[in-house]
Structure 1
Amino acid sequence: MAQLYFYYSAMNAGKSTTLLQSAFNYQERGMQPLLFTAAIDNRYGVGKISSRIGLEADAHLYDNQTSLFEHVATILAQEKVDCLLIDESQFLTKQQVLELTDVVDKLRIPVLCYGLRTDFRGELFEGSQYLLAWADKLVELKTVCHCGRKASRVIRQDSEGNAIADGDQVVIGGNERYVSVCRRHYKQMLGLL
């Protein structure tokens, strides 16, 4: 039975690695996964899903104008699709998450989404909000703060390593810009504790 899954975490928990492992598992069994990633994040190349440990795969791109249901239905008319794997799913729109429920319910294709739950202000991304609300299965992938506690927040840093409290929700970056921390260190770094 097809279901909508949301695998979420703070940064550096291995979301892309887990996605790529899932794709490999499907392929190893002779099945055909369909991979998507956000066009806005091209740090590792256009149309690539890459993990920090060196794994990568080609992927279809989506932006906030992409009709994921139509895209998947078009591909399905030409070839077999056994599952849909979506990286950077925090960048999905409400409409796209709704379309993913239709991929599951109408096309009967499992959809596995991987993304951040919250931004550097501790607020939900739009895609994450609706995945948390509508997914059949929620799975938290864990990473750790420098103190050893579970990291549940992300700090955005300036070029000198100072925590930033305000700004655009989406600023693409990696370890040079963001650090995952526990709630206590999040508050401490922002001067709230």
Structure 2
Amino acid sequence: MAELHFFTGTMDSGKSTLALQTNHNHAARGRVGHIFVTRDRAGRGLISSRLGLTHEAIEVDPGFSFWRHVVDTLTRGGRLDYLVCDEAQFYTGAQVEDLAKIVDELQLDVFAFGILTDFRTQLFPGSARLVELADRMHALQVEALCWCGKRATHNARTENGVMVVEGDVIVVGDIDQPTDPGQPTLAGVSEAETDVAYEVLCRQHHRRRLTAARARAVSLAPEQPLPFG
């Protein structure tokens, strides 16, 4: 029986790598699938892993219909056995419902990969709907680490080096790395105006807003107490 799988973890936990590996494993057994992605850091129509792996993919915009795409493919005589859907946290609730419908009505396996919560520690709408509808939910076994060495459980955003917990939910950036020079973010702000980066933290240091850079600054000023709160 076909199933809707949701693989989730923090940033830097290997989601895109596993998505590409999943596609490779199924394709190697003669199965035919399509890969989907949205807002990948490598650009439109690409899925990329921090290990350097890339693959062409179908870009999912807010108005994209998975159901229409699959039905049109099958109607034209194409073959489809499975879908690999990366960055699924950015999908709309309706798109996730389409994926569930494809599993139930067309018996195609769907493998979705995404972050569970945003930098505010709140569920992404797409991830929330996947938690509600998925047949199986998998927590990735590759644990990302906070700068302190503990397991990272939260995604943090920094703007111009300062951790923020408010703002637009979707802004393109990368872990410990600013956006490309001149590249507009999804919030319409260029890097010349705001240097956006992401970092994974344990709950304790996310709550204290203690990023790696701030921890280093504190360590260089021992007379200043650590920020508790």
With the length of structure 2 as denominator, give the TM-score of the two structures. Answer: 0.79
What are the residue-to-residue correspondences of 1:137-148 with 2, within 5 Å? Answer: 137-141=136-140, 142-148=143-149
Q: Give the Cα–Cα distance (whole angstroms) in 1 for the partners of residues 148 and 110 of structure 2.
A: 35
After superposition, the C-alpha distances for 1:120-161 in whole angstroms (9 at most, x for unaligned) are 0000111000001110101112322122222110110012x2
- Offset at 1:192? 6.9
Report whether the alignment pairs 1:5 with 2:25: no
2:52 is the counterpart of 1:32:
no
Amino acid at match of 2:149: G
More strand by share: 1
In the alignment, what sits opposite 2:169?
169
Relative contact order (alpha carbons < 8 A, sep ≥ 6): 1 or 2 greater? 1
Aligned length in residues: 190
Q: 1:16-70: per-residue Cα shift (whole Å, max 9, x none)?
A: 00000001101111111210011xx153132010101111111111111111111
Contact (CA 8 Å) 2:152, 2:203: kept in 1 or not? yes
Q: 2:204 aligns with which of 163, 180, 184?
A: 184
* Max Rg structure: 2
Q: In structure 2, how many angstroms separate the alpha carbons of the residues matched to 1:98 and 1:146?
A: 37
Where structure 1 has 5 or more consecutive residues not aligned to the other structure, the ranges are none
Match of 1:61 among 39, 59, 66: 59
Report the AA paired with residue 88 of structure 1. E
3-state SS in 1 of match to 2:127:
helix
State TM-score, norm by structure 1.
0.94
Within 5 A, what are the aligned runs for 1:22-171? 22-38=22-38, 41-77=39-75, 78-141=77-140, 142-159=143-160, 161-171=161-171
> What is the CA RMSD across the aligned residues, in angstroms?
1.4
Tell me, which stretches of 5 or more residues in structure 2 are unaligned? 178-196, 211-226
**AA paired with 1:54?**
G
Distance in structure 2 (CA, Å) of the matches to 1:65 and 1:128: 18
